[in-house]
Structure 1
Amino acid sequence: MAEAVVFDMDGVLVESEHLWEEGWAAFAAERGARWGAEQTKSCQGMSAPEWATFLTEFAGAGDSPEDTERAVVDGMVAALEEGRIELLDGAREMVTDTAGLGPIALASSAPRRLIDAVLVHHGIDHHFKATVSSAEVPRGKPSPDVYLAAAEKLGVPAADCCAVEDSSNGLRAAAAAGMHVVAIPNPQYPPAEDALAGASFAASDHDSVRRHLLSQLKEGDRS
């Protein structure tokens, strides 16, 4: 049973994980460093200040973390404007239908300006009662901070929230927050077995997740 739902953004609502990897790799390559799958795995779930520091040190060209973050996020905003960050199949219906039964929030590792830009661009911003970037809390995923902050903004105990995630560190963060974890495993970046083990429900398609969330919200409404 649930009273609210908290969604991740990258890989849950929009197809964007590969674009983050492209941006990190391009930044490193321009400075003579070779970015690989291990570096991407390390950064997934980090807040923008965290991955910017990691990327700056990895590239080793003397940039400031602030300039590194700005350059990569500028590229993501440009990709959005070019139509390269699309909603995943079924994501709009999942958001719209769950928001019709209970309050929903967003808990994302993306920086604030990209969160706002994505939600407005796709016309779904009005469905969310709260949005939190992990840059706005002390620690990024896999720490639970961003999920706990989202629940607090909704005014709903974390234990009464469903969290929808796709990546290892996101799943770990939601579980650490004490939420009912719903997994949509990312096929390009499959989550680790230990992270998936913390999910109470998993499905590869958004319609199955949508139906599960609706059933949980309806049960919560009856309790």
Structure 2
Amino acid sequence: MAQDRFPYQAVIFDMDGVIVDTERFYFDQLDEMYTAAGMPVSHEELSRAVGASYKDFQKNLARWFAMGGVELSIEEAEARYDEWAKDHPADYASLLNPGVVETVAALKDRGVRVALASSSPMDNILHVLDVCGLSGAFELVTSGEQFHESKPNPEIYLHTLEALGLPASACCCIEDSVPGITAGKAAGLTVVAKREERFGFSQDAADVIIDSIPDILGL
């Protein structure tokens, strides 16, 4: 298919929930951790945190422990989570969303540039890409930890656009959560949302909703 059939010069991918189906994994992981500690956090609370930046995630860990009567610093709460996560690791390769590798390759074959902008820490991003066979697949990889605030702040997308040397009108992003969709819209991007109906939030602010990542090729 000719490149001019695709309406954008670049596609900027989110990672969690888009490349890998980690949102549900982390939700269940946290649910299990707090329940095992005798301080269950409501599913409504956990759902509201889906797509949050890593800094917000760190704050939420401490807040949720406090709701269970355990006062911890952010560092102490994160250490507790890290200890739990070490014994309950994510198998990212098995969480890879169907068709992602093929879609990235197909976009590049059409001459479309591909970048990644994720709120996750860079070491986690690089690990996920490695085990999913996507190392080196993206022209640019940006982490929310590079900025004072990550999504829903649009700075991560504005930085990515500047690094690509492209206007927002020439690009689209693929997101799933409210913070990501909000950030993309605030940056002036066309926002394509991968359909997500498990956590009760609305994706109505997105410009397009797709059922699977390969559907992006039909824009």
Question: In the superposition, relative to structure 1, how do residues 127 and 84 fare at CA in structure 2: closer, same or farther (>3 Å)?
Answer: closer
Tell me what 1:134 maps to: 144
Q: Where do 5+ consecutive residues of structure 2 fail to align?
A: 1-6
The answer to whether the 8 Å contact 1:99/1:128 transfers is no
Deviations 1:10-62 (A, max 9, x none): 11111111111123223433543221222223322222121111221220234
Change (3 A) 1:26 1:92: same
Between Structure 1 and Structure 2, the one with more helix by share is: 1
Structure 1 85/173 Cα, relative in aligned 2: closer, same or farther at 3 Å? farther
The within-5 A match list for 1:81-160 is: 82=91, 85-100=94-109, 101-160=111-170
- 2:15 maps to which residue? 9
Match of 1:202 in 2: 209
Q: Which moved more, 1:27-36 or 1:116-125?
A: 27-36
% identity of equivalent residues: 28
Whether 2:191 is the aligned partner of 1:184: answer no
Distance in 1, matches of 2:142 and 2:82, equals 17
Conserved? CA contact 1:2–1:161, under 8 Å = yes
Distance 1:168 1:144 in 2: 12
Q: How does 1:205-216 map to 2 (within 5 A)?
A: 205-212=212-219
1:215 maps to what in 2?
none
CA distance in 1, matches of 2:176, 2:92: 22
Conservation of the 8 A alpha-carbon contact between 2:92 and 2:128:
no
1:65 maps to: 74
Paired amino acid for 2:136: H
Provide runs of 4+ in structure 1 moved above 6 Å.
Answer: none
Match of 1:169 among 172, 179, 185: 179
Q: Deviations over 1:150-173 (max 9, x none)?
A: 222322223321000112221121
In structure 2, do the counterparts of structure 1 residues 158 and 83 end up closer, same or farther at CA, with 3 Å as the change threshold? closer
| Higher mean C-alpha deviation, range 171-180 or range 150-159 | 150-159
Is the Cα contact below 8 Å between 1:24 and 1:55 reproduced in 2? no
| 8 Å Cα contact 2:23/2:51 also seen in 1 | no
Seen in structure 2, the aligned counterparts of structure 1 residues 180 and 73 have a Cα distance that, compared at 3 Å, is: farther
User: How many pairs were matched up?
Assistant: 208
Structure 1 pair 77/129, CA: closer, same or farther in 2 (3 Å)? farther
1:206 maps to a residue whose letter is I
Secondary structure at 2:116's aligned position in 1? strand
In 2, the alpha carbon distance for the partners of 1:77 and 1:179 equals: 39
Deviation at 1:104, TM superposition (A): 1.3
Matched, 1:24 2:24: no
Find the aligned partners of 2:87 and 2:183 in 1 and give their Cα distance: 26
- Range moving further from structure 2, 143-152 or 25-34: 25-34
**1:168-208: CA deviation from partner (whole Å, max 9, x where unpaired):** 2211211111101111111323541xx42x32322212222
Question: What is the CA RMSD across the aligned residues, in angstroms?
Answer: 2.4
Counterpart selection for 1:54 from 51, 57, 60? 60
